[in-house]
Structure 1
Amino acid sequence: MANTPYPESYYAASANAVPPRPALQDDVETDVCVIGAGYTGLSSALFLLENGFKVTVLEAAKVGFGASGRNGGQIVNSYSRDIDVIERSVGPKQAQLLGQMAFEGGRIIRERVAKYNIQCDLKDGGVFAAITAKQLGHLESQKRLWERFGHTQLELLDQTRIRDVVACEHYVGGLLDMSGGHIHPLNLALGEAAAVESLGGTIYEQSPAVRIERGANPVVHTPQGKVRAKFIIVAGNAYLGNLVPELAAKSMPCGTQVITTEPLSEALAKSLLPQDYCVEDCNYLLDYYRLTGDKRLVFGGGVVYGARDPANIEAIIRPKMLKAFPQLKDVKIDYAWTGNFLLTLSRLPQVGRLGDNIYYSQGCSGHGVTYTHLAGKVLAEALRGQAERFDAFADLPHYPFPGGQLLRTPFAALGAWYYGLRDRLGY
């Protein structure tokens, strides 16, 4: 049977040691079968186990193999479309409920890290950096918006103050969110998987779901076994493939690229990011970066629509890094990798139920570290019969990409070109 290892990345190279997990080779019964051992699946499994469910998790490769183990490691609040956009689309009542949840994912991460003693280099503080006066104006509006929903750990940074937190000359200001922060993303996933197992959950690796037999007692088939369950949670996101065709039609995998430097001297690392906050800029096609626990710079950016792997990731991302930090021109890049996230046309997550017993959450659209942890709680609530918060997400309108799967990539790339041009022209 095929054994899919982690892709070569800094995170895989520095992952905490974990025991090997078996592939499913039997027929098993459970209350809930979770497809995917990334953040959505692991968060769902933890909340369900804490509420007395028997849970089996199927992972096609290894825990955190997809976006959960390859992302920039930033804890960023809200959604890829902010609450004001949601409010204009669905009205104040539904937006109020979604707004109240917009800052919950980061709290869940911190609760998990503390409760289960997860070693993942958790640091507090994230900065949204404005390159233009217009972007700074948007951050001022964002601060007022978030404060309207009770989120108060925010500080607006002027041009002088932002120099105290990031040594980049391009920024005219920013917004500091002290409830933001950063983590080693793969180690967070591995720690959550260990927590799942500590509560009696079972995780099978190298066990892709190849078919779902729908019905009153659905069955998930893998190459060498099957799981009969009362409920299924589909949490494969960009790595789900065509297992559930009606989900694939409304989403598109996209690739993002990340590089990691060699370890920096203590003085150089502190000069770049004196408070050790993570940073993302305010462009539509944004750059993001942070320091690791061993003082490397992780720098990411760029989007490849349709999730193709670029031939030379360093050639794409290193110039972006040097534009922000020209003082790193002689620094060696030790790791470069790509990973996929799942884009929706609305850039809002898709949550719902197929029939009576198959639940799903997908399409974080590049904003998944916090949302996926919230999604696990919301899905678990729905399985317990508390569906108000689930319904708030499920009622969001979603549409297939124009032209279907054949044309979704060129249409999205054209849109990205347009917004990238706006970024470059300062609009």
Structure 2
Amino acid sequence: MSSQGQTSHPVDHTTSYYAASAHPAPARPALQGRITTDVCVIGAGFTGLSTALHLAQYGFKVVVLEGNRVGWGASGRNGGQIVNGYSRDLSVIEARYGKEASDALGAMSLEGGDIIRSLVKQYNIQCDLKPHNVVAALNPRQLHELEQVKTNWEQHGHTELEMLDKAQLQQHVATECYIGALLDKRGGHLHPLNLCLGEAAAIESLGGQIFEDSRVVQVLHDQAKPLVKTAQGEVEANYVVVCGNAYLGDAVPELTNKIMPVSTQVLTTEVLGAEKCQALMPAGTCIEDANFFLDYYRMTADHRLLYGGGTVYGGAEPADIVQKIRPHLEKVFPTLKDVKIEYAWSGNFALTLTRIPHFGRLKNTVYFAHGYSGHGVTCTHLAGKLIADTLKGDATRFDSFARLPYYPFPGGRLLRVPLTVMGSWWYLLRDRLGV
């Protein structure tokens, strides 16, 4: 299904609820011929859009190249949850990289959500933004770990957290699946594709250019000014920022083995109505569980249940998305057994071996940020701000990420999937046994 008002464009969105409910937006042209700019951004997902928007606010001349459409990849397909932090807890970051690293990343861990809220307000972006998110525990081990997360977050200045017992959690989700939860009052949820479209419009309002259907095939950076090539055009720029994430392909071979695409699947039900949505999720927050292979869900603005989960390393799409996800939905909400599913789709995020976002430089004129490992909505927006600050002259915070060690997946493309699956079995077993 396609986004409303955009069906004339040759490259369409996936069959998602977001595409079907997206605000009308112009079909942007493909790049033709040669142009010059201050900064060429590759990818019109959250990282690229945040980078371009912050750069445009700083007065840079910016060109964004998108291989498909604005928000076509993970940024327009995800669960829409504003989840603070990173895919690894700050305590893990401190144990691996030291207190200086954990303090630096901890100081930035809430900023992505703040950036989103600020942009939504500044540019009047209509994306159904709602406050608060909940991480729910299925067993005592997970609840204890959430208590430790709360303690660790508070040491880094995040004080808007609250532990919920089973009775309190009923105000957020009417289910017997969980024994308690952690409420983050600095979290939230939104319509991610409409956020992308709003940010793209903001970039253009500041003079930035966005070209769709303009997949990058090569980046030549062994010269004074890098050159970015598409099938029908090229961009000469002072700087290039690579933001392709799981959908980058082979345009920048140096980055290919640093990440692995992982698919996740999402369903959206028929319209349930305001009364039923209120009964099932009274507080209107979003939920994710505390499993290693987690489920996540929320109610949409038009009163549907949006439910996601599933993990396929390598980015393959399951043969039957509904069959894969429906049992999880019905376990949490037995009263929705056999509910009609109107939308089902899959999308890829990029995983790093360390599960920490990978920021860096290929040289002083080519920057990249990717590998958010499932925590992309907020951290992508932070990444864009840090890259813009770097090109403006202050790389301090960008380098807090860039100096962290990163490693390729063992086994290369051939073996990275089976080796990662083997490594994940222990976590899956812990989730199932609750130990």
Confirm or deny a common fold (TM above 0.5): yes
Cα root mean square deviation, aligned: 0.9
Q: CA deviation at 1:126?
A: 0.2
Is 1:121–2:137 an aligned residue pair? no
CA distance in 2: counterparts of 1:355 and 1:73, whole angstroms: 33
CA distance in 1: counterparts of 2:124 and 2:201, whole angstroms: 10
Q: Match of 1:159, as an amino acid?
A: K
> Match for residue 176 of structure 1?
183
CA distance in 2: counterparts of 1:351 and 1:340, whole angstroms: 19
Is 1:299–2:310 an aligned residue pair? no
Q: Match of 2:252, as an amino acid?
A: V
Which of the residues 416, 423, 427 maps onto 2:431? 423
Which of the residues 74, 77, 82 maps onto 1:75? 82
* Structure 2 unpaired stretches of 5+: 1-8
Residue by residue over 1:402-421, the C-alpha shift from the partner in whole angstroms, topping out at 9 and shown as x without a partner, is 11111001111222333112
Residue by residue over 1:258-284, the C-alpha shift from the partner in whole angstroms, topping out at 9 and shown as x without a partner, is 000001122210111101000000000
Residue correspondences, number: 426
Cα contact 1:285–1:416 (8 A) shared by 2: no
Q: CA deviation at 1:182?
A: 0.3
Q: Match of 2:116, as an amino acid?
A: I
Which of the residues 24, 35, 51 maps onto 1:44? 51
Counting only pairs closer than 5 Å after superposition, residues 13-412 of structure 1 correspond to structure 2 as 13-214=20-221, 215-412=223-420
> Match for residue 3 of structure 2?
none
SS in 2 for 1:62: coil
SS in 1 for 2:338: coil
Identity %: 58
Q: CA deviation at 1:3?
A: 3.0
CA distance in 1: counterparts of 2:182 and 2:101, whole angstroms: 27
Residue by residue over 1:29-60, the C-alpha shift from the partner in whole angstroms, topping out at 9 and shown as x without a partner, is 00000000000000000110111100000000
Deviates more, 1:207-216 or 1:222-231: 207-216
SS in 2 for 1:143: helix
Q: Match of 1:384, as an amino acid?
A: K
Residue by residue over 1:54-93, the C-alpha shift from the partner in whole angstroms, topping out at 9 and shown as x without a partner, is 0000000000000000000000000000111111111111
CA distance in 1: counterparts of 2:274 and 2:51, whole angstroms: 39
* Structure 1 unpaired stretches of 5+: none
Q: Match of 2:334, as an amino acid?
A: P
Residue by residue over 1:335-378, the C-alpha shift from the partner in whole angstroms, topping out at 9 and shown as x without a partner, is 00000000011000100001120000010001100000000001
CA distance in 2: counterparts of 1:163 and 1:9, whole angstroms: 29
Query: TM-score if structure 2 supplies the norm length?
Result: 0.97
Q: Which runs of 4+ in 1 moved over 6 A?
A: none
CA distance in 1: counterparts of 2:86 and 2:72, whole angstroms: 23
Q: CA deviation at 1:330?
A: 3.4
Q: CA deviation at 1:144?
A: 1.0
Cα contact 2:217–2:250 (8 A) shared by 1: no
CA distance in 1: counterparts of 2:12 and 2:274, whole angstroms: 33
Q: Match of 1:357, as an amino acid?
A: T
